[in-house]
Amino acid sequence: MPPFDFVGPYELGEKLGQGGMGSVFRATHAKSKEKVAVKIIAAQVADEPRFRRRFDAEIKTLMSLQHPGIVKLIGFGEEHGQLFYSMELVEGESLQARIKREKKIAWRQCIDTAIEICTALKHAHDVGVIHRDLKPANLLINSDQNVKLVDFGIAKIFGDGQQTVVGSMLGTLDYMAPEQVDSSSITVRTDLYAVGSVMYAMLTGRPPFRGKNATQVLDMLKNQPPARLDLIDPDLPEPLIELVHELLEKEASNRPPTALSVAKRLKAMRAGLEKLETMRSDQTNALEELKKMPTSVGASHEPEATMPPQNMPDGQQASNGTSPDTDITKNSLDSVTRFSGDSTLLGQSEIKEGRTRAEAGKTAESIDRSRTQVAQTVVTASSSQDSFELAT
């Protein structure tokens, strides 16, 4: 049950979630009947003087964010001594809930989700807003399976430093960047570290660091590298592995520079990997067709090694003194593989087989010829990271 029936013009309904900063309720505007989500800031947070000083100004800034990948803020106010703000209601689930249910997210879906996240971040970064608290719980998946970022920039209202760590942000240690722990400069690359953490969680089912307590997690966050993704799942594409670990670099300067550059790399990677998957599938199908082809002609007939060679229809003799029925004509496979720059191109070849059958000892000769053409794809793939990167 909500603590009050109304906050401002909104009638509160069921609780949708709760976190360190407060609780979220489904709500309805009393006059317009618009369905929204209302977040009531927790009392211990709202009573912090620094928070109250920043609340109005920061919420007004966040209301200026207009992007389909960002949950829209609608209004804010204070009721019963508690601060609240209203926002777009997203019907769906959080990425955190999906990871918990599915354990791991397929790498293709991980790439798609990361592209959506980076596109939304690019919009916010362009107007000077940094999320600071990007995590699966703050990524909502709507009924159309599109990702929307929520609680954008709210963490800034708390201020930086140790207060952020020991206060409402405690549950976010799994995804925050090292520079957030010691009050270092917060930049757009801080959000990009969080993108890497979220991608790591999607691919493995867990964040990069796990410890028995917050102190242990903080120590690993600052001093230890995360376990390599290829050691956890060797089937992950190498370019994806390298990008995630680049995003998780301790030094911000070693990470990609912008959300736009990451989005471009992910899009190029997706296109390259999809093409590679298609070519591999074509190759597999071609090989399966080859396996179905007979390895010799007339193999079902008994050889007649003692029979003298007979004249072939064109006057030629069968080889090795054997029956023409067992003389195999050529079966050739010509393949061409072309490698060009940063992408793997398809080499195509045709396989042609001619078969001739003749029965020895008969004056009437019968020839059964069949020709089968099978397209085969031979793939030479370049899996290095630079094959899929775009210059920023």
Angstrom distance (rounded) from CA 315 to CA 202: 70
Sequence-separated (6 or more) residues with CB below 8 Å from residue 104: 202, 203, 204, 205, 233
Q: Which of 92, 60, 85, 66 is nearest to 9 (CA)?
A: 85
Q: Which residues of 113-146 are buried (b: 16+ CB within 10 A; e: fewer)?
A: bbbbbbbbbbbbbeeebbbbbbbbbbbbbbeeee
Whether residue 21 contacts residue 45, with contact meaning beta carbons closer than 8 Å, is answered with yes
Dist CA 335 CA 321 (whole Å)? 33
Annotated catalytic residue within 133, 174, 325, 327: 133
* Inter-residue contact 165 to 172 (CB < 8 Å): no
Q: Say whether 191 is catalytic.
A: no
Q: Tell me the torsion sign for CA atoms 102, 108, 112, 114.
A: positive
Q: Nearest CA to 99 among 110, 108, 89?
A: 110
Is residue 106 within 8 Å of 240, Cβ to Cβ? Answer: no
Residues recognised as catalytic: 133
